[in-house]
Amino acid sequence: MSIEPSDEELLAGGHAEDFGALYERTYPLIRAYLRRRAGARPDLVLDLLAETFARALERREQFDPQRGSAVAWLLGIAKHLLLDSMRRGRVADESRRRLGMERIQVEDDQLELIERESDSELQRALNRLPGEQREAVERRVLQEDAYAAIAEQVGCSEQVVRKRVSRGLSALRRTSEETP
């Protein structure tokens, strides 16, 4: 039985296959996060998703596992791109263009399907988490509450909250790998 590399190892791997495996593992979670934050704009979600992974590929040497997980790093990129797109009125595409990636063209019926699937996919995955992990992930990742605030409200240490978020994100990643 072979042990699969962690997300962090795939990100640091430096090979196209490694990054491709990281993408396959994490894009459903990143897409669901963006869908929740961008509202009813699946075209915006797809543009942000493409630029998130293009930027991560371009800057993967900047990832520091001491500061958090690969999933948290990707979510941070997605968040910053979303905020930037709201400020600018368009999605940045510099990384995609530098890497020679074409813009994804999607038909209206495909956009509607993505819209319906994203929310239910995330909610199903969150519902499978133990209650404490679900709450920690929802509050930290989706609502962006500070670890200290979460810890104070649930009556535990920040380290416990960090561990719950980490375990929850790992479980969500595994779930997204199992979902076709």
130-138, long-range: CB < 8 A, 24+ apart: 132/164, 133/164, 133/165, 133/167, 133/168, 133/171, 134/168, 135/164, 136/161, 136/164, 136/165, 136/168, 137/164, 137/165, 137/168, 137/169, 137/172
pLDDT, residue 34, reads 84
Which residues of the chain fall below pLDDT 70? 1-2, 39-40, 90, 93-121, 175-180
pLDDT, residue 40, reads 57
Domain positions in the chain are 1-127, 130-180
pLDDT, residue 165, reads 87
What backbone torsions phi and psi does residue 26 show, to the nearest 5 degrees?
A: -110, -15
State in words which class domain 1-127 has.
mainly alpha
Residues 89-142: tens digit of each pLDDT: 767 766 555 556 666 655 666 556 656 555 566 777 777 888 898 888 888 877
pLDDT, residue 115, reads 60
Domain 130-180 belongs in CATH node 1.10.3470: no
pLDDT, residue 104, reads 60
